[in-house]
Amino acid sequence: MILRKIIIIYFFLFSSLQSKELNSELIEIYKNLRCLICQGQSIADSNSDFASTIKLVVKDQIKEGKTKEEIYDFLVLKYGEWIVYKPALTKNNFLLWVLPYTVLVLGGFIIFLIIRKNKLNKRN
């Protein structure tokens, strides 16, 4: 009897943990998808017809065992790169990805030059 209760409790805990994990994965995907017919809203934020259909499709694909990347690739194929907030690195958006790092390195280099120049001025 006790063993049966333990198994039931364990089953409920396990399934609730699993559904929480699934929900957080779904929300993460919805947040990275743009609602194409809404003003500045993600699929997660929108209750439009388009958003609700996309949510159903994403849910189905997760159930089929598809990965996040596979889902994004599928939707990009159908709606273009615009549907994802975080686009994949391609030759067209190369600058978008590389520029922040270049600015960071270049900024560091400029600061280094200024500090060195100030030190040299002080010594002289």
Partner 1 sequence: MKINFSKIIIFSFVIFFLLILSLGLNKNNNYDTKNLIGKEISNFELPSIHSSESISHKDLKQNQFTLINFFASWCSPCRLEHKYLIKLTYQNKNIKILGINFKDKKNNALNFLNELGDPYSFVAEDPDGKTSILFGIYGIPESILINKELTIITKIVGPIDQRQFKEILSLTK
Residues that bind partner 1 (CB under 8 A): 36-37, 49-50, 53-54, 56-57, 60, 75, 78-80, 82, 95, 106, 110, 113-114
- Tokens (6 digits) for 81: 């790169």
Give min distance, CB of 81 to partner 1, in A: 9
Question: How is residue 37 annotated by DSSP?
Answer: T
Cα–Cα distance measured from residue 37 to residue 54, given in angstroms and rounded to the nearest whole number = 12
- Least distance in Å: CB of 30 to partner 1? 14
Distances (CA, A) of 11 to 20, 23, 99, 109, 112: 14, 18, 50, 57, 59
Closest distance to partner 1 from the beta carbon of 53 (Å): 4
Least distance to partner 1 from the beta carbon of 29, Å? 14
Indicate the residue among 4 and 39 with the shorter CB distance to partner 1. Answer: 39
Nearer to partner 1, 54 or 84 (CB): 54
Q: Are the CB atoms for 34 and 46 separated by under 8 Å?
A: no
How far apart, in whole angstroms, are the C-alpha atoms of residue 100 and residue 97? 7
- The residue (of 21 and 107) whose beta carbon lies closer to partner 1 is 107
User: Which is nearer to partner 1, 4 or 78 (by Cβ)?
Assistant: 78
